Each structure stands twice: as C-alpha cells, then as structure tokens.
Amino acid sequence: MTLLAHGLGAVRDLPVPLWLFFYGAGVVLIVSFVALGALWKRPQLAQRAAGRPLGPRWQRILLGPELRIVLGALSFGVFVLVFAAATFGDESVSTNLAPTFVWVVFWLGFVPLVVVLGNVWAVLNPWRAAADAVAWSTRRAGWNWAPPLAIPERVGRWPATVLLFLFTSLELAYADSAEPRTLAVAIAIYSWITWLGMAAVGRESWLRHGEAFNVYFGLLARLAPFAVREIDGRRVVVVRTPIARLALREDVAGTLPFVAVMLGSVAFDGFSRTTWWQERVFSIESRLVIDHPTLSELAVTGFNMVGLIGAVAVVALIYLLAVEGARLASGQRGSLAEEFLGSLVPIALAYAVAHYFSLLVLQGQVTWRLVSDPFGFGWDLFGTRDYQPRLDILSPNLIWYVQVGALIVGHVLGLTLAHDRAVALFRRPGLALRTQYAMLVLMVAYTVGGLWLLWNG
C-alpha cells in the first residue's frame, strides 16, 4: 500500500530507556492483578450487562424506521460511489477515493464509532440495506422468499472467520491491495458472497454468522455503553456499564478463531515490518522477480499468508494454554475456552489503536480532498481538492506514548474481564484468583509482544 505509513518514523529519543517501558507495563499488570484479587471478590460486570433502557423519545428516534431508511440509503449510496470509483476512476492510489475510504475511513474509522456509540454498523451496513430493500419490494409484490438452508450450530461464526481472514490477507499479504481495480474485484466478490449468503440462510442468520464486518464491529461494540437488546420481545436501546457485555460467556462456535484473526492479523502487520521479515521477502523477490515476476508476486503473497496464519495460530495457542492453566488450577473437567473469550476483545482493540491510530489521523485527513474528486478526474465538487493534511499534529514520541497507553489499558481491561468471569464461575475468591495466574502470564506476554512489535515494526 502507498498510503501514509502507520507512524512518522522510529522513536529514538525517549526520555527513559526502552526496557523501562517493558518492565513498567509488566508492573502495571501485576499491580492490577493484585488489586483485583484483593478488592474484587464478587462478580460486578455480568449483572450490569442488561443495561437500563433509554427514554421513550430516544427509542422512537433511534429505532424508528425513518432513521434506519435514511442511514441505509446513505450508506448504500456511498458504497456505490466507492465501488464506481474503484472500477472506473483513476488507477492512482493517491487520487482515487476507494483505497483511502476502504482501508482508512471504513476499516479503521468505524472502530472508534462502534466502541463509543455501539454497533452503528447494524444500520449503516450497505449490504444489509440493499437486502432489506429487496425484501420489502418483494413483499409488496406479494412474493415472500423462504431461505432454503440454515447454518448449523456447530458452524457458528466460521463463515465470518474465513471471510475476515481473506480480507486481512488481501490487506497484509497481497502487495497491490490498495490498487483501485483490486478493490473493485474484492468488493464485487464480497458483495456476491454476502447477498448469496443472505438469500440462502436468511438475512439475520448470515449477519450473525457470515458477514465478517457485522461480527467484527459487533464484538467491538460490546465495549460500548450503548446497545440494542430485546426486552419482552421488543427491541430496546439501553445504556450499560462499558465492557460489561464481554463478561458473559461466549458460546458460539468459531468465536475463538474469529478473535484470533482480529488479534493475529494486527500482530502480523507489525511483525511483517521487522527487518527479519523484510529480508526474507527480499530474498524471495530477488530470486524470481526478473525472470518470473508473476511467480515472484505469488510467492511473496503465499509467504505472507503463511506468516499471517502463523500469527493467528500463535495468538490462539497462547490463549488456549492460558485457559488450560486456569482449568488445571480449578480442577474442572470441561474446557474453559469459551468462558474467557471476552477478555481478548479489549486487547484486539488495543492492538488496533496502537498500530493504526496514526494512520487514521493522518491519512484520514486526505479524505477531505478526495471527496471533491472521488474518481481522480480533476473535479472540485466541494472546493476541497487542494486541501493539504497536517502531518505535524502527531510527533513520533506522542505516537509511541499513545501506543503504550493503549496496550496497557487494553490488557488491564482484559485482566478485569477475566477476573470478573472467574469470580462468577468459581464463586470462591481464592480459587478464582489461582485460576488467573495463567491469564496474568497471557496478558504480560501479549503486552510485551505488542510493545516489541511496535518498536521493531
């Protein structure tokens, strides 16, 4: 990708040595663990997950059909514009709206939105908006479509996991992922799969199990203070304690692989920027690029995909080892893998913030210029074509401090969720604390590993 780099360069003038950041992060986690063990004797979060309904006026505004129709139509219009720009616009990444919109505005920009406001993707999903419009039109015409298939319970979120992995593979393994024509093909394929899936198993079922972005933003939205839930068969907007929903048991097949892709893809992004990985990529290219350029591209893409799979597998394996340690400490017979999955979601958010917030802030500014000329044809629809982003608003040191802070806060939240779940599960505070020693090691490993990737990436 030729978009702006994730940061402004390496940090080499920190006021304290690098090793102090590593030790400091570990100390914060250990102190948090001790404080949780001493002060958090009963479950506090799970009982607050239900939340308190907002007033009737807000219910009418937020859940009324008018807002959903307007936002759905707007999102579908933007979707068509981006797809048209990718298909017919200028092929330059720097002048075409599609690359910046897909990889920055959509993929990164929606993260803070859902974390603060809840799962707004549910009403801004253009694929859902189009499917809802088709369903409404067919019902008006007197034809009701009955999905011929159903997703088995054992399949769960595996379809969404596969699609998220393919999306991150396009982003991280394929060298031309920002090319407009590449994005046009990817959008067309994903749209075809999504609408076919909705027709085959039903809109709601595919959204819950197969639509990768709906699952992705939905999991992150569980950190938010707002949510929509059913009360007495009626959808209601509620306000709740942030992160409380993540304290509940997650019992949907494929969720661990999905979260492992969320975490592992960002970890691989950092690792792929290290000198060690870049040297191996260069070694592959140098042997093939002159005589077999197509083979060289395929070999590098395949090599990157192997690395991505390895990163996802390592994330999942470390988590499984930690919960196995918790199981052994508790003496339980069954697996505890589903019990503590919620603790990984704030860590996935922390990794995303640490790696990408500077890209969102810096490259996101370019959107103001591109919306005036989305196709790169020399237009100036809104008078912003000559807008120049301010690249001096983030210094390398500021980026580093935000990255460290995000990782520490994310892992402390992960520890808190795991401890709350353990107290609810095992009832006895002493036993619950013993089961969390392995989770503490997990959090320290993730934190130190994340800092190492940020420093060396």
Model pLDDT, residue 14: 59
Three-state DSSP at 231 gives: strand
Q: How many whole angstroms separate alpha carbon 194 and alpha carbon 203?
A: 9
Three-state DSSP at 107 gives: coil
393 neighbors 361 (Cβ within 8 angstroms)? yes
Q: How many whole angstroms separate alpha carbon 238 and alpha carbon 450?
A: 34
Model pLDDT, residue 2: 43
Q: Token pair of 435, please?
A: 């089961």
User: Which region among 137-146, 198-207, 408-417 has the lowest average model confidence (pLDDT)?
Assistant: 137-146
98 neighbors 183 (Cβ within 8 angstroms)? yes
Going by DSSP bridges, is the β-strand pair 52-53/226-231 parallel, antiparallel, or unpaired?
unpaired
Identity at 109, one-letter amino acid code: G
202 neighbors 208 (Cβ within 8 angstroms)? no
For 151-185, what is each residue's pLDDT tens digit? Answer: 999 999 999 999 999 999 999 999 899 999 999 99
If we measure between CA atoms, which residue out of 215, 209, 214, 185 comes closest to residue 197?
209
Q: Token pair of 169, please?
A: 């593979």
Three-state DSSP at 434 gives: helix
Q: Token pair of 225, please?
A: 């203070």
User: Which region among 64-78, 343-357, 380-394 has the lowest average model confidence (pLDDT)?
Assistant: 380-394
Taking the CB of residue 283, how many other CB atoms lie within 10 A of it?
10
Say if residue 12's pLDDT is above 50: no
Give start and end residues of each alpha helix (H) in 153-223: 158-172, 180-201, 203-209, 212-220
Residue 57 makes CB contacts below 8 A (sequence gap 6+) with none
User: Which helix (H) or strand (E) segment is 52 a member of?
Assistant: strand 52-53
Say if residue 288's pLDDT is above 60: yes
**For 147, how many CA atoms within 13 A lie in the half-sphere containing its CB?**
16
Model pLDDT, residue 457: 66
205 neighbors 114 (Cβ within 8 angstroms)? no
For 319-345, what is each residue's pLDDT tens digit? Answer: 999 999 999 998 888 888 899 999 999
Beta bridge mates, 230 = 235
User: Which helix (H) or strand (E) segment is 309 a member of?
Assistant: helix 293-330
Q: How many whole angstroms separate alpha carbon 355 and alpha carbon 362?
A: 13
User: Which region among 89-93, 169-173, 227-231 has the lowest average model confidence (pLDDT)?
Assistant: 227-231
Beta bridge mates, 231 = 234
Q: How many whole angstroms separate alpha carbon 348 and alpha carbon 8?
A: 23
180 neighbors 173 (Cβ within 8 angstroms)? no
If we measure between CA atoms, which residue out of 321, 319, 342 comes closest to residue 425?
342
Residue 136 makes CB contacts below 8 A (sequence gap 6+) with none
Chain mean pLDDT for the chain? 90
Residue 454 makes CB contacts below 8 A (sequence gap 6+) with 270, 354, 355, 400, 403, 404, 407
Going by DSSP bridges, is the β-strand pair 234-239/226-231 parallel, antiparallel, or unpaired?
antiparallel
Q: How many whole angstroms separate alpha carbon 5 and alpha carbon 358?
A: 8
Q: How many whole angstroms separate alpha carbon 159 and alpha carbon 163?
A: 6
User: Which helix (H) or strand (E) segment is 419 a member of?
Assistant: helix 396-426
Return the top range by mean pLDDT from 131-140, 209-218, 277-286.
Answer: 209-218
Q: Token pair of 192, please?
A: 């075809």
72 neighbors 129 (Cβ within 8 angstroms)? yes
User: Which region among 6-20, 77-91, 344-358 has the lowest average model confidence (pLDDT)?
Assistant: 6-20
376-to-103, 314, 371, 406 alpha-carbon distances in Å = 17, 42, 10, 36
Q: Phi and psi (nearest 5°) for 235?
A: -75, 130
What per-residue string of b and e applies to 71-84 under the rule 16 or more CB within 10 Å gives b?
ebeebbebbebbbe
How far is Cα of residue 415 from the mean position of the Cα atoms in its chain?
Answer: 20
356 neighbors 3 (Cβ within 8 angstroms)? no
Give percent above pLDDT 70 in the chain: 96
Q: How many whole angstroms separate alpha carbon 363 and alpha carbon 107?
A: 13
In the sheet that holds 234-239, the strands lie side by side as: 52-53, 234-239, 226-231
Model pLDDT, residue 202: 95
> Residue 15: pLDDT band by 50, 70, 90 thresholds?
low
